[in-house]
């Protein structure tokens, strides 16, 4: 099988790949497959978003393969935060839930591809080849939503969320976990007044009046909501 040639970022000739999935067997299988597709890539793995973000600060990857549903985040929030931390990396999303709403939302949030879990190996190879060629990969059955009010609402929310800075995205995630300003300040080692300033900016960008409305808005693009489980 011919190797996929991925245009690399930076001066190195070695593709740096980060796999983010909390299922070890799937992560191992994906690492094995990707290792056969690309020419000797440097593969790192993470089982949570926080672990992935820590790895990104140490070494920026060229390609990220991201599972939407992680222990510490779900939906497009993890994708948005990764985009902020590694803006030049290509991000391919994998998910066990494949429908137009999920695919459309991750593409709106900046992913370059969406691959359903369980796709045949040949389809996975095709997906990476398309991404390597600088194009967007979507499943063959994907249809761009037209006149779907719910899809339009999700698109609008994703646009607002992507306008947040990486720090604001982190704070919004902590707010969604139910943490108070004092706890957030402690977790992030910043002043409580700084948290309040960020919260004000978050609410302004999201077009909401209080933190409860901000949480409700963010949860509309959670994994459960996107997949129709919520």
| Per-residue pLDDT tens digits for 197-224 | 999 999 999 999 998 888 888 877 764 4
Mean pLDDT of 161-182: 87
Q: Is the pLDDT higher at 99 or at 92?
A: 92
User: Token pair for residue 148?
Assistant: 């779907």
Q: Where are the alpha helices (DSSP H) in the chain?
A: 24-37, 49-58, 77-85, 100-108, 121-132, 149-162, 166-176, 181-188, 192-206, 211-219, 223-227
CA distance 87 to 176: 24
Burial of 140 (0-12, 13-18, 19+ CB in 10 A): exposed
Say if pTM beats, i.e. exceeds, 0.75: no
Q: What is the dihedral of CA 76, 65, 164, 174, to 10 degrees?
A: 70
Q: Which has the minimum average pLDDT: 6-10, 72-76, 187-191?
A: 6-10
Higher pLDDT, 14 or 164: 164
Q: What is the per-residue pLDDT across 111-128, written as a single tens digit (0 to 9) for each? A: 999 998 888 888 888 888
Q: How far apart are the first and last CA of the chain?
A: 42
What is the side-by-side strand order in the sheet with 63-67? Answer: 42-46, 16-20, 63-67, 90-95, 113-116
- Lowest mean per-residue pLDDT among 87-96, 170-179, 220-229: 220-229
Query: Is residue 92 classed as helix, strand or coil in its secondary structure?
Result: strand
Could you give the CA distance from residue 159 to residue 105 in angstroms, rounded to a whole number? 10
Q: Give the pLDDT mean for 43-69.
A: 91
Report whether pLDDT(7) > 50.
no
């Amino acid at each position: 099988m011919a190797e996929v040639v991925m245009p690399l970022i930076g001066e190195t000739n070695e593709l740096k790949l980060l796999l983010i999935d909390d299922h070890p067997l799937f992560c191992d299988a994906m690492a094995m497959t990707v290792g056969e597709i690309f020419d000797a890539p440097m593969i790192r793995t993470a089982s949570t978003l926080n672990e992935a973000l820590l790895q990104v600060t140490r070494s920026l990857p060229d390609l990220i393969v991201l599972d939407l549903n992680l222990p510490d985040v779900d939906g497009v929030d993890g994708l948005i935060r990764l985009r902020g931390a590694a803006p030049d990396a290509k991000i391919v999303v994998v998910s066990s839930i494949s429908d137009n709403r999920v695919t459309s939302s991750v593409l709106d949030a900046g992913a370059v591809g969406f691959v359903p879990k369980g796709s045949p190996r040949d389809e996975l190879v095709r997906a990476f080849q398309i991404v390597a060629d600088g194009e967007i990969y979507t499943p063959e059955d994907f249809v761009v939503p037209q006149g779907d009010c719910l899809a339009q609402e999700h698109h609008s929310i994703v646009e607002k969320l992507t306008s947040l800075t990486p720090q604001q995205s982190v704070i919004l995630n902590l707010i969604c976990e139910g943490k108070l300003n004092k706890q957030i300040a402690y977790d992030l080692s910043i002043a409580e007044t700084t948290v309040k300033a960020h919260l004000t900016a978050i609410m302004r960008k999201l077009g909401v009046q209080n933190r409860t409305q901000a949480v409700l808005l963010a949860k509309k693009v959670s994994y459960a909501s996107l997949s129709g489980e919520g």
